[in-house]
A and B are shown apart, each in its own frame.
Chain A
Amino acid sequence: MDLRFALEVAVSALMIAGGIFAVIGAMGMVRFRDFYMRLHGPTKSTTLGVGCVLLASMSFFWLKNGHPSLQDMLITLFLFITTPVSAHLLTMSGLHHKLPSAPETKGQPYELDDEDDIARN
């Protein structure tokens, strides 16, 4: 088994794994019962899925061109910087809207009104 073939296998595996992760994330998003749980899907699984594909793409074009492409790394960088921030903001707005949480959700969202009071005093 030559090296090239092994790499192709690895790239393919990464791609398919990426797809599977993305679907799992989406499933989580559909299936979970409250907003806070549902956020787990995109933040973890989907990011991982797209990360896998990016990794696959990096290797793919490395294989093809002999050097890794800069844009791929830039996308990965952007993605890994931005996804947590948007998840954080989403959670904040969820809390702000006082979305109901299922009983299984651990921990109580802190009371925004208290926070409000603190800000006021």
Chain B
Amino acid sequence: MTLLLIVLLPLVGSLVPIASARSGRTTCAWLTAILPAIALGIAAWYTPAVFGGQLPQVSLDWVPALGLDIAFRLDGLSLLFVYLVLGIGLLIILYARYYLSEKDSMSRFYAYLMLFMTAMLGIVTADNLLLMWFFWELTSLSSFLLIGYWSHLSEARKGARMALTVTGAGGLCLLAGILLMGHVVGSYSLTTVLEHRELIQQSSLYQPILLLFLLGAFTKSAQFPFQFWLPHAMAAPTPVSAYLHSATMVKAGVFLLARMYPVLSGTDEWFYIVTLTGLATLLYGAFFALIKQDLKGVLAFSTISHLGLITLLFGFNSKLAAVAGVFHIINHATFKASLFMAAGIVDHECGTRDIRKLNGLWRYMPYTTVLAAVASASMAGVPLLNGFLSKEMFLAQSLEAQMLGGLSWMIPALATLGSVLSVAYSLRFIHDVFFNGEPRDLPKTPHEPPRYMRLPIEILILLCIMVGILPGIMVEPILRAATAAVVPGQAPEIHLALWHGFNLPLMMSAIALSAGVLVYLLRNHIYRFHRQFRAVNARQSFEFSVQRVVRSAQWGLDRFENGSLQRYMFLLLLSAVIVAAFGLMDVPSMAGLKSLQPLDPVVVTGAGILCLAGLGTVMLHRRRLLSLLFLSVVGMFVSLTFARFSAPDLALTQLAVEVVTIILLMLALFFLPQKTPKESSGRRVSRDILLSMIFGGVIASLNYAVLTRPLQSISTYFIENSVPGGGGHNIVNVILVDFRGFDTLGEITVLGIAGIAIYKLLNRLRLFMPSSDMEGRPWSPDRYPVILSSVSQTLLPLALLVSVFIFLRGHNLPGGGFIAGLVAAVVIILVYMSRGVEWTQRRMSFNYQPIAVTGVAIAALTGLGSWVFNKPFLTSSFGHFDIPLIGDIELATAMMFDLGVYLTVVGSTLMILANLGKVTTPHRPSKEKQ
């Protein structure tokens, strides 16, 4: 369980800076650093066990049905990355304390950073592929926040969006790949997946799986042709760049390659795709790093280049190459983080990152110059530094790759070319910035940064040197542990040493160093050569393609969704007709085997009236009030039909809803024109009539066909389980409050939200009130007819009694919270109608919002209550209680839930209706007439 803390502590840590925002910048930084430091301590505590070959694991069920567990593991590879993420993360926290200016919100920065750290740790320690994907997307999201941290800059926003789009899209590919892999293996557990190399590679899905995983990895690691997002992510504050582009974000992609290496590598497809992509990226990045004039741009492209190198190493399908890849991950993280921090210091102290302006800084900041020079030398692969070791291994491995046949010599040649360029741009980084004359019109006079801003770089440089000189002591144990996780089977003999004797790789290194210096000296020729190409701005073309996608999506949407309800209705009905018609055509005869029920004149009359009233509603729809009266007839007959065919609950609900609808429409009709003009053309009307006739015919046949056949419905289950399972005889109510209680909870929540939204929308809205009706008649002066007001007052207690009665018996007989709530609301509305808002509110001085909210809360708490008894959410329980005087009664928790429904319905309905009524309150038409 301690393992969980490695991920959990930084997650909790993302709240620490928010909580300590007011306690000063330094305190905030220290407090933020505590939890990751503890997590690092935990990782260190596990280290001996991991080195000893153990595999600490922890697993908790999350969504077992989906195969999603909260499962973590800490193998060598994870441990290595945990060290990188936490170690460099802590240095970044220290660095950012001095980098961020007073205006930048420190707590926000640290919160994002900790969230990102959590996500990274999640990726590297997850033992479940879906969980890993979850954290993978979390890195995309949190890096979006970090890159767009300076959200007032358009550049930062666009760069963040680009990074999110590319890595997010790659994440979706990865998800698809994970799902396919889970399908092949039958489990999402990483431990299981890693054991099924043969199964995956022999599966016909191997190629899609490989492709999707590689898409995920390549987008994240900015591999060609997805490299374009990375330079634009440089709009982020430098601590972010230093963290994201050295140890974390982009390393997630190569981590995925390493993680999946045991199961995906070793095939020709793997070799060709990964090697060629890596090679292309290596050269592309190296060339542009030489050309860029922006300090961070140089580092960005060099990062791309080095990621290409690591990818290339993983592509070689050789165990030693994979070891070299892992080794280079460590080395790149250390020297690149320090280079970014150095660039940040230069930017911070000089106010610009333009290499053309920055010159001869060594006079102003000698310490920083030394630190940057060492880091650069490491990047260039100068002996005695860690970069040299991994580059040497890389060159040695490039000689081993034979898959290209007769062209195999090209790989070492191009690898050497990459190294040449790498030496050249490293040299440029140092010489152009810190030497080479005097600075030109800098916005600030540079000087050494604060002591503690340099400390992180010093630590990293120290590591670079120590690893470079004493690799066997410094990195061999962790490299061995990490390799054991990456390379399946017999681990290769790792022998890290400074001196391997005079051999071909050393020659290549020497060539690279000398040629690199030469290339740097001749750089002006390269610039001149490059200048003849038109500059391609990746951001513009990206924005352009995004706009194009948006436009075409909009075009496609406009075909269907043009805002015309008539069109939606038409398309909907048309498709329904087509689907239903094809289904019906397959049925041999419309009538089934069941015999028909006898017709009686009462039903015939009712059906006739129902049809006529429906027709009337449609035909008179331009005269709204009239149409509404016909609609009431329809409503009444529908509820009579429910009653006739034994559905009293539905009948009650229909009646209650009916009257609420009428009141609502009367309120709305007051503000609407009484008549609507004729708008549709004759052709359109005939088309619609035709469609509705066909639709009616199809639906009627469908109904007939269904009703005349024996039906195996789910109602038997409810009938059988209503009393034993829900403790109620009214099945409808038991379904609502028990079997489908979760649905009901959702519905009342929506109802409550809708009520509050309407309340908010109507708040302070005052509408003009006409002083006469549509035919020019002034309103009747009798505001509150006396008879009505006195009778409604008499009716109120009686009706509330009825409402309570309907509510109480709801569980066993027709009724329930919903109907009872509507009845209560409607009766209170009657008082509003007969007495007016002022009179009523003087006597009922409470608000309706709390009632609705309380209702939802009661329902939710009732559901939560079952957790106390260790039962799933919304488990109901019931029992018989013997209460003196009243006798034996049955009480179910569902009753409490129903009470919640009742209160929500009362609160929301009143909130809506009473507030709609209030819209015109202050203006009296009869007064305005004067």
Contacts and interface: CB of A to CB of B under 8 A. Distances in A.
> Is any CB of A less than 8 Å from a CB of B in the complex?
yes
Nearest to A85: B791
A78 B781 contact: no
Contacts of A85: 787-788, 791
A74 B785 contact: no
B785 A88 contact: yes
A120 interface: yes
Contact of A81 (B782, B785, B795): B795
Contact of A115 (B781, B788, B929): B781
B541 interface: no
Interface string B749-786: 00000000000000000000000000001101110010
Contact of B785 (A84, A89, A116, A120): A89
Contact of A88 (B780, B781, B787): B787
A7 interface: no
Interface of A: 74, 77-78, 81-82, 84-85, 88-89, 92, 96-97, 112, 115-116, 119-120
A72 B764 CA distance: 45
Nearest to A119: B781
A81 B795 CA distance: 8
B612 interface: no
B930 interface: yes
Contacts of B926: 119-120
Contacts of A78: 795, 798
B778 A116 contact: yes
B791 A112 contact: no
A112 B780 contact: yes
B503 interface: no
A119 B930 CA distance: 11
Nearest to B779: A96
A84 to B, nearest CB: 8
A78 B798 CA distance: 9
**Chain A facing B: main interface SS:** helix
Contacts of A82: 791, 795
A74 B795 CA distance: 11
B199 interface: no
B791 A81 contact: yes
Contacts of A112: 780
A116 B781 contact: yes
A89 B787 CA distance: 9
Interface string B789-806: 001001100100010000
A92 B802 contact: no
A84 B780 CA distance: 20
A92 B798 contact: no
Q: How large is the interface on B (under 10, 10 to 19, 20 to 34, 35 or more residues)?
A: 10 to 19
Nearest to A70: B805
B340 to A, nearest CB: 81
Given A85-B788, A88-B785, A92-B782, A97 B795 contact: no
A92 B791 contact: no
A88 B785 CA distance: 9
A74 B929 CA distance: 44
Nearest to A116: B781
Given A85-B787, A88-B787, A120-B926, 16 more contacts: A77-B798, A78-B798, A81-B791, A81-B795, A82-B795, A84-B787, A88-B785, A89-B788, A92-B780, A92-B782, A96-B777, A97-B777, A115-B781, A116-B778, A119-B926, A120-B781
Contacts of A119: 781, 926
A115 B929 CA distance: 15
A81 B802 CA distance: 15
The 9 residue pairs across chains A and B that have the minimum distance between CB atoms: A119-B781, A85-B791, A96-B780, A88-B787, A116-B781, A85-B787, A85-B788, A81-B791, A89-B788
A82 B798 CA distance: 12
Nearest to A118: B781
Output the residue of A85, A97, A112 with the most chain B CB within 10 A: A85
A77 B216 CA distance: 74
A81 B926 CA distance: 30
Output the residue of B780, B785, B788, B791 with the most chain A CB within 10 A: B780
Interface string B908-930: 00000000000000000010011
A116 B778 CA distance: 9
Nearest to A98: B777
Contacts of A116: 778, 781
B323 to A, nearest CB: 86
A40 B635 CA distance: 26
Contacts of B930: 120
Contact of A74 (B777, B781, B802): B802
A28 B503 CA distance: 119
A84 B802 CA distance: 21
Contacts of B785: 88-89, 92
Contacts of B798: 74, 77-78
B794 A81 contact: yes
A47 B101 CA distance: 84
A30 to B, nearest CB: 15
Nearest to B782: A92
A23 to B, nearest CB: 13
7 contacts: A77-B798, A81-B791, A82-B795, A89-B785, A92-B782, A97-B777, A112-B780
Contacts of A77: 798
A113 to B, nearest CB: 9
B799 to A, nearest CB: 8
Contacts of A96: 777, 780
Interface in B571-587: none
Contacts of B777: 96-97
Nearest to A95: B780
Nearest to B927: A120
A7 B450 CA distance: 107
A117 B782 CA distance: 12
A62 to B, nearest CB: 20
B812 to A, nearest CB: 15
A116 to B, nearest CB: 6
Interface string B682-702: 000000000000000000000
A82 to B, nearest CB: 7
A92 B785 CA distance: 9
A34 to B, nearest CB: 19
